[in-house]
Each structure stands twice: as structure tokens, then as C-alpha cells.
Amino acid sequence: MFFIGKAVALLVFVSTLLWSGQSFREHRYIYSIDRHLEMNGTISFEDEKMEILYTEPQFRRIVYDGSSLDVYGQNGELMQHTDLESDPMMKLYMYFISQLYRGNFKALEGNFRLVYEDDGVRLIPIPPADKVVLGVDVLQSGSTISKITTRMSNGDEIVLDIAQ
């Protein structure tokens, strides 16, 4: 169950901003099983809610509302429910993902040192975020995020290419 929860959270690193139904391609390396995955989907936001629809390689709908994370299968069946109040690291991770995708870098300053560069932002984690994330590189073209690379403390790496 822990692996599924962590994998789902990583899927969310999917990864991005104030877009409604923005398409992305996710490339992921999962260190624990030495496997590369490629997924496609869309991400959308409504108030505090974030919804990710994976369409390839298989359908999954992930809903984050700030206090819980739910994963639904192709037929709408609830596959997993996570109460984020009982998992502080997952809660931190999901908050980080939500704010990153919204482009709200200011909200991340409590957990990351932000280094602004010509082509984007580098996020360097400070405790306790450093227990989950080693670093994040965000490439931008103007104010539009085009790519997010996240290195996780467990050896995983997630690269999101966002369709423009």
C-alpha cells in the first residue's frame, strides 16, 4: 500500500499550473524496480482541487483536494483513498505538486530555496521537504512552464513535458 501511495503521488508529479485540461507527457524512472515508464494525460484545477487524468498506458483519475488523495479506475471505481492528515510527508508532497503546477512559487518558499535562472527556476528543498524531494528544475518560456524535472530522495526521477 505504501508503494502504491508513493507511486500515485509521483504520478501526480505529473505533473502543472493554472491550466484547465493541460496535456502532458510524463517520463519516470522508478529506482526501486529499475524501470522507466512513460505516461500521457491532462491536469486541471478548480479552487483547491487538482485532477489528473492519465490516458496512457492505462486510464487513471487522481483527485487531490488538500486533505485527501483518491485514485479511480477506468470504470469510476475507487481504487485507493489516502487521508493526507495521517501521512504528513505525502501531504507535503501533494501540496508541493499542487502549488508547483499552479505556478505559485511564492507558496513553496517555506519548503524550498528558489533560485531564479534565465530559463526557469531551480527549487532546492529545505527540511522537512528534503526527506521527499532532492531537487526540482522548472524550465519556462516567458511565464509558461514547459518542463519540470523532479529528483526524489528515493532515487526516482520524474520529467514532465507540458504541451504548449
Residues 24/161, Cβ–Cβ less than 8 Å: yes
Confidence tier at 149 by pLDDT (50, 70, 90):
very high
Report pLDDT for 16. Answer: 34
Count of domains forming the chain: 1
The 10s digit of each residue's pLDDT in 51-88 is 989 998 899 999 999 899 999 999 999 999 999 999 88
* pTM summary value: 0.75
Domain assignment of residue 34, given as a range: 2-162
Closest alpha carbon to 66 in 100, 99, 42: 99
Residue 149: CATH number of its domain: 2.50.20.10
The 10s digit of each residue's pLDDT in 84-135 is 999 887 787 788 778 877 778 888 898 899 999 989 899 999 998 888 889 9
Q: Which residues pair with 138 in a beta bridge?
A: 121, 148
